[in-house]
Amino acid sequence: MSYSVESVAYWYLSKEEMSPKKLQKILYYAYSWFLTLQNESSDELENKLFEENFEAWVHGPVINSVYDQYRHYGYKEIDKFEGDLPKFDSEALDVMEQVWEVYGGYSGNELENITHQESPWLNARKGYQPLDRCRNEIEDKDIFECYIQRVN
């Protein structure tokens, strides 16, 4: 079962206000770890937290629709979400909580630097210079193969 990316974003924004960059990277790690922990192999990646794909932008993984929704904040913090949150199943909630525990203390810039060291973003940007505009999708298979190595 997958959720809307908006509902996952609201869940994280209910934790604290954060920059759009931090939100994008937190969503990336939630998606990545859910994909890795809820699938058996890189050949069958059916279980996803949400359906949107990440693109390998200059500042790290980005979902274009989320960027459009929060771009007016620029470098300012997005307000903390105070509304009603959707219900998530226990597997999704467990992964989302763990992602928050591990990555929630980092700033958007720190998370950007971490993603720039990891193979999914690097693979999607092959052939591009550091500041070149790139809209290549980060492949689910690359995500799975990168993070499954950390599980074992």
Q: How far, in Å, CA of 54 to CA of 114, rounded?
A: 16
Rounded to an integer, the average pLDDT of 109-135 is 96
Amino acid at the residue 7 = S
Confidence of residue 40 (pLDDT cuts 50, 70, 90): very high
**Considering the chain, what percentage of its residues have pLDDT values greater than 90?**
95
Rounded to an integer, the average pLDDT of 20-31 is 98
Rounded to an integer, the average pLDDT of 36-40 is 96
pLDDT digits over 77-110, tens only?
A: 999 999 999 899 999 999 999 999 999 999 999 9
DSSP calls for 83-146: SPPPP--HHHHHHHHHHHHHHTTS-HHHHHHHHTTSHHHHHHTTT--TTS---PBPPHHHHHHH
